[in-house]
Amino acid sequence: MQNTDTPDPDTPPAADTAARLTTQSIRSFVLRQGRMSPAQTRAYETLHPRYGLPYAAGALDFKRTFGRSAPVVLEIGFGMGETTARIAAALPRCDFLGLEVHAPGVGALFKLLDEGHLTNVRVIRHDAVEVVRDMIAPGSLAGIHIFFPDPWPKARHHKRRLVQARFVALLATRLAPGGYLHCATDWEEYGQQMLDVLSAEPLLENTAAAFAPRPDYRPLTKFENRGIRLGHRVCDVVFRRNNRVSAESGSDGTTPQGTA
């Protein structure tokens, strides 16, 4: 039987990673039919033409998508969108592409964007692995945020965790040199896994000795503050893309202020 974990020597590393994710995609979520409030439903239906993008195979032209040339930061799994909206409002010089599979969260973010008159955010409601693989050009991102992904705490479910070596390898190819990957979790064991996985990726370098201090651009949420009061440790892991392998151009590599 052929060993599918052995790379093809004639296939470039980035292409091999993408090909493996095609057949071995990480399923890090369970799609629940969450109940949408009337406000979320109204926002989803009326604001999707303004903020939403369809999933389609083919790299996005960010200049065309956002109507300007600016650093683009990818937000993976933004939940109800509060943090994404706050970061986008604080960093108007950056554009943000948010990925989320749950409709209530998408509707909630649309509502926040409309209320804040924000124009620098677009949203794709689709699986993050497929979007990164099919719609993000290599070397095109200034940054990537993965904040508080599902920790899947049971050992038998760890394979569902989003931050795994294959996906991180793909993410690294999408960063411009100097671009950053920032993961955060309040599940300390998952934080250690994040640190180990990112440390093992040859295209990434840690900005700290181990865990990083929380950058100023990542706001504290009510949920996070409650966890801190209860003694939960929040782990931030911030790595930068190095120049070990040349990336295709597509971003100037500028990162929001506050990264280490």
Indicate which residues carry an active-site annotation: 150
| Residue of 146, 167, 148, 22 whose CA lies nearest to 74 | 146
Kindly list the distances between the CA atom of residue 95 and the CA atoms of 34, 90, 148, 161, in Å, as whole numbers in the listed order: 28, 11, 21, 27
CA distance linking residue 83 with residue 75, whole number of Å: 10
Q: Which DSSP string corresponds to 15-78?
A: HHHHHHHHHS---------PPPPHHHHHHHHHHHHHHEE---SS---HHHHHTS---EEEEE--
